């Protein structure tokens, strides 16, 4: 994820500036503010701005004048209660803004989370860089035979080499065609004055989904946790999960008490249906329960047994 000298200079300038404020700030998050965290081969995620902290969640829950309580243990207990009982609005009072560079196909997954403010790099206005994602060999897997949206065994040897070659060659070829249709150099001047370039908004349609785009993505803490609960899950696609993993670490810096509750009740917890709870009660009573008599679907039975650490 190489940054241009201009980009690095801008980051250093922003990090050198400090402003006096009466707003809540979080030193651990200030340490990494503006700094890009590399993701995939050319991507990154970085925090641009934020509002609020753990104490702001407590303040909103109590609608108080103060910033939480004098004892962290009381704030922790309240935040855990809010998380456990799904009281969402206090978490919505905190917001965070990210700058993300990501492959277009990852962006199309990401944008399904419609609870954020998004502004994306415009290929109608600017020319996209020649940067495209190629999976590492340990992520080059075949289609799963049991999960229509998952991966199976890794491709090996000549087959893996062939696929990697196709990915690179296709991306190189379409970008060359993109550049030819634009007929523009880095300054916007025609490469060939005798030719008229195609409009940028049309030339971009030839690019494949592994090319990189960028956006600013601003959301509140509650909806950030909804995003992370789905995209940092081990079942999520690898290419979006690595972004979620990086953002999880940023959230830990920002709101450590909320993050602790999030891991405890969301990431480490489980949602069990009414029929599933009936199965659990019978098992606790010492009964033997089979899937056939449980009243739940095969998939739910498998998930329930996995949650309970039992063989399906």
Q: Which letter does DSSP use for residue 140 in this model? A: -
Q: Give, rounded to a whole angstrom, the gap between the first and last alpha carbons of the chain.
A: 44
CB 48 within 8 A of CB 102: no
Name the 3-class secondary structure at 37: strand
Name the 3-class secondary structure at 260: helix
**DSSP-derived secondary structure for 133-193:** ----GGG-EEEPSS-TTSEEEEP-HHHHHHHHHHHHHHHHHHHHHHHHHHTB-TTS-BSST
Joined together, the tokens standing for residue 100 give 């993300």
The total of other beta-carbon atoms located within 10 Å of residue 92's CB is 16
Residue recorded with tokens 């009964």: 287
Distance CA 53, CA 59 (A): 10
- Set 46, 200, 204, 231: catalytic member: 231
CB 96 within 8 A of CB 49: yes
The total of other beta-carbon atoms located within 10 Å of residue 232's CB is 21
231: annotated active-site residue: yes
Q: Is 157 left (phi over 0), alpha (psi -120 to 50) or beta?
A: left
Joined together, the tokens standing for residue 224 give 């950030």
Q: What's the CA angle centered on 240, arms 106 and 95, to 5 degrees?
A: 100
CB 155 within 8 A of CB 141: yes
Joined together, the tokens standing for residue 251 give 């959230």
Q: Which letter does DSSP use for residue 99 in this model? A: E
Residues designated as active site: 231
């Amino acid at each position: 994820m190489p940054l241009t000298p201009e980009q690095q200079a801008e980051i250093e300038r922003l990090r050198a500036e400090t402003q006096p404020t009466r707003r809540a700030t979080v030193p651990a998050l200030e340490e990494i503010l503006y700094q890009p965290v590399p993701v995939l081969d050319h991507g990154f995620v970085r925090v641009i701005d934020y509002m609020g902290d753990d104490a702001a969640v407590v303040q909103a829950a109590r609608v108080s004048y103060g910033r939480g309580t004098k004892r962290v243990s009381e704030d922790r207990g309240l935040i855990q209660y809010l998380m456990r009982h799904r009281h969402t609005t206090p978490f919505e009072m905190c917001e965070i803004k990210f700058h993300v560079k990501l492959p277009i196909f990852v962006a199309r997954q990401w944008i399904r989370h419609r609870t954020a403010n998004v502004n994306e790099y415009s290929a109608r206005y600017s020319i996209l860089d020649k940067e495209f994602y190629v999976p590492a060999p340990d992520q080059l897997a075949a289609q799963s035979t049991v999960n229509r949206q998952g991966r199976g065994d890794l491709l090996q040897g000549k087959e893996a080499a062939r696929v990697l070659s196709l990915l690179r060659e296709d991306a190189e070829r379409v970008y060359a065609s993109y550049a030819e249709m634009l007929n523009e150099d880095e300054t916007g001047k025609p490469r060939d004055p005798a030719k008229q370039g195609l409009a940028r908004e049309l030339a971009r349609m030839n690019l494949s989904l592994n090319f990189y785009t960028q956006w600013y993505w601003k959301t509140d803490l509650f909806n950030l946790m909804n995003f992370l609960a789905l995209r940092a899950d081990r079942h999520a696609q690898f290419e979006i999960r690595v972004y979620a993993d990086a953002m999880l670490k940023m959230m830990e810096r920002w709101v450590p008490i909320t993050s602790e509750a999030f891991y405890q009740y969301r990431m480490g917890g489980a949602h069990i249906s009414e029929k599933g709870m009936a199965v659990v009660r019978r098992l606790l009573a010492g009964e033997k329960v089979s899937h056939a008599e449980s009243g739940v679907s095969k998939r739910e039975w498998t998930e329930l047994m996995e949650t309970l650490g039992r063989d399906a």
